[in-house]
Structure 1
């Protein structure tokens, strides 16, 4: 999914270098006419390497450059000289990037720490020179190994947002407004569904020097796990969050029903998401009086802690931040 400079899904073609040829050479110098084999080994072909970079937050730089080819290894030479290794090629990606096999869609590896490196396409081994093949029955072998071919394939690269808290809710539930009020993030806000077309990150500052990262995920609709709406393209971002904050507006027709729909979409996408800590916040509660709030409270789901907030009136936000901080650090 892309919007502006945010890209979280690309396909790239990686080709590693071929190994250099082993040398066939017989040692010759003045007064030594039959010095025996001394052909050196070929150099290793260059790798194509995925490298995690904390300064990146999108795969946008890979949108227009999809082909990466490493150099071949150098050939071996006389005096058992090994050929030069092919130069490695690096593909820098944000933290939280996973790489999949493009045919089976199985995860090959993921990178989550700055500077972490994983070989995407391994360079071919260099061939052995003829001095390796000398034996009592073959004193002057006149053959060597060719270099091993490199690996070449297409790969699927995906980004999963790394955040402590993920906002879960239907479109227009007030997620972007909440993020803009309790962080310095500036997400797009408007009075229509699917205003948010890309995940937004913000740093929440709590008491003292307490901080945590919150992610505003584009709204989920019923059937999202089947690809409806923005579908599973963004459901995967929730997998990285340790705590899920469900946001349902106070003017919802049935809060309990909306919560169950959201929970079911997460379960259908990945049942492990239900193991995460959960908190329910009833947004837009500035329109409620005490009596109406008490009535709604009776109808809320019993299996999840809940509280009432209003981003516009800044109601309950301190309690919300304190509760989330406690959940993250229990």
Structure 2
């Protein structure tokens, strides 16, 4: 999938179907010239339904289709025949999609299981036929109910990636390189900031045919929680990860300080993100000799008392098996 095909935010207009009108028919047959009312009810208008589909990965298929309109219910007819219901319209979305009301920004619901369905615009009820209004004193009612109008709404579909591990780090920390080495994913890699503009997913093959999913999320910059840089566009993808892997390059001026800035951005965006398990990987550590690494360990052992850390190098394939072992232990 190319980067331009990754769509994680779409605005959609939905219209449900109008209910059919009830019938005013009077029974008229050869030997029953003055039969009573036998008008049937109108059919229900079609719903607009959002449905989760595990085979979809992005909202790209909705990029050029922004209007969804369900069918109207048919009118009732004679012999108390109910009109047919209007056909429902389905909007298929990937797992992890959040549906919001565009005006209020309120979350209506989230879809996280394959095949899960939620009605986003309910079809109008069909009107009652005149057979319902017959009484002892009014035996020939010549009126019926009209069908209810359908609903119109503007909704926002927002994808939050479902992955086991989220890679968190500043731009150019080596996240894409790590993903390309430990999975079969082929993210765009270059030596400048914001190479990754869209989240990338990769499946890590672990021992005994076990697997887990890693998401490389665009790099954080200070102020991301307020929307600077790529801002909220990437932070929402971290919400669904069960474990966070912080990547800090070995050549960073202050590893602990850089980690604290990353943690602070997550805290300001959503404090609940800090409840997730965390692991710090010091990337590009092939640049360090043994003596320097030993000195750094003495400092980091004091600074990272509660959080585990390890040295890795994606290019030199150092510490990657240990990293996978650690992540698998944290996930299970």
TM-score range, shorter chain: over 0.9
In structure 2, distance between residues paired with 1:308 and 1:152: 55
- Structure-1 residue corresponding to 2:239: 239
Listed one character per residue, the Cα deviations across residues 246-298 of structure 1 (whole Å, up to 9, x for unaligned) are 00000000111111110010011101000001100000111112221122223
In structure 2, distance between residues paired with 1:252 and 1:303: 21
Shift of 1:3: 4.2
TM-score (norm 1): 0.97
Are 2:240 and 1:259 aligned?
no
Runs ≥4 residues deviating over 6 A: none
- Structure-1 residue corresponding to 2:38: 38
RMSD over aligned Cα atoms: 1.1
In structure 2, distance between residues paired with 1:328 and 1:290: 31
Q: Structure 1: any 5+ residue segments left out of the alignment? A: none
8 Å contact kept, 1:250–1:284:
yes
Listed one character per residue, the Cα deviations across residues 174-225 of structure 1 (whole Å, up to 9, x for unaligned) are 0000000000000000000000001000000111111100000000011000
Match of 1:308 among 284, 306, 311: 311
8 Å contact kept, 2:103–2:154:
no
- Structure-1 residue corresponding to 2:179: 179
Structure 2 residue matching 1:4: 3-state secondary structure: helix
In structure 2, distance between residues paired with 1:269 and 1:21: 50
- Structure-2 residue corresponding to 1:296: 296
8 Å contact kept, 2:16–2:47:
yes
- Structure-1 residue corresponding to 2:272: 272
TM-score (norm 2): 0.97
Are 2:23 and 1:20 aligned?
no
In structure 1, distance between residues paired with 2:307 and 2:134: 74
8 Å contact kept, 1:279–1:304:
yes
Q: Structure 2: any 5+ residue segments left out of the alignment? A: none
Are 2:149 and 1:149 aligned?
yes
Alignment of 1:1-330 (within 5 A): 3-300=3-300, 301-329=304-332
Higher mean C-alpha displacement, 31-40 vs 207-216: 31-40
What is the total number of aligned residue pairs between the two structures? 328
Shift of 1:153: 1.2
Listed one character per residue, the Cα deviations across residues 1-36 of structure 1 (whole Å, up to 9, x for unaligned) are x94111100100000110000000111212223321
